[in-house]
């Protein structure tokens, strides 16, 4: 029984490896979503403000923790 499992594993691993190698990725560039003509440059600016309570492990003796986060993005 164990020998059959080892043989099946040895046969399945290369198949899984080749199957995952064929995965395709998407280009995540601003130009992918904006119909801008060739040769133009784009500037994308974003800002995010998040504030609120921080969730901690209930077994820890920490209470009343709050956070404020400012995030700026320029692409």
Task: Report the distance separating Cα 15 and Cα 7, nearest Å.
Answer: 13
Task: Report the distance separating Cα 49 and Cα 11, nearest Å.
Answer: 51
Domain that holds residue 25: 2-74
DSSP state, residue 74: E
Domain tally, the chain: 1
Express each pLDDT in 30-73 by its tens digit. 556 666 677 777 788 999 999 999 888 888 888 889 999 999 98
pTM (global) more than 0.75: no
Predicted confidence (pLDDT) at residue 6 exceeds the cutoff of 60: yes
């Amino acid at each position: 029984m164990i020998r059959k499992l080892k043989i099946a594993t040895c046969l399945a691993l290369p198949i899984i490896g080749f199957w995952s190698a064929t995965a395709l990725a998407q280009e995540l560039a601003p130009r992918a979503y904006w119909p801008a003509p060739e040769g133009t440059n784009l500037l994308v600016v974003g800002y995010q403000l998040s504030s609120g309570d921080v969730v901690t492990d209930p077994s820890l003796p920490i209470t009343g923790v709050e956070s404020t986060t400012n995030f700026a993005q320029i692409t």
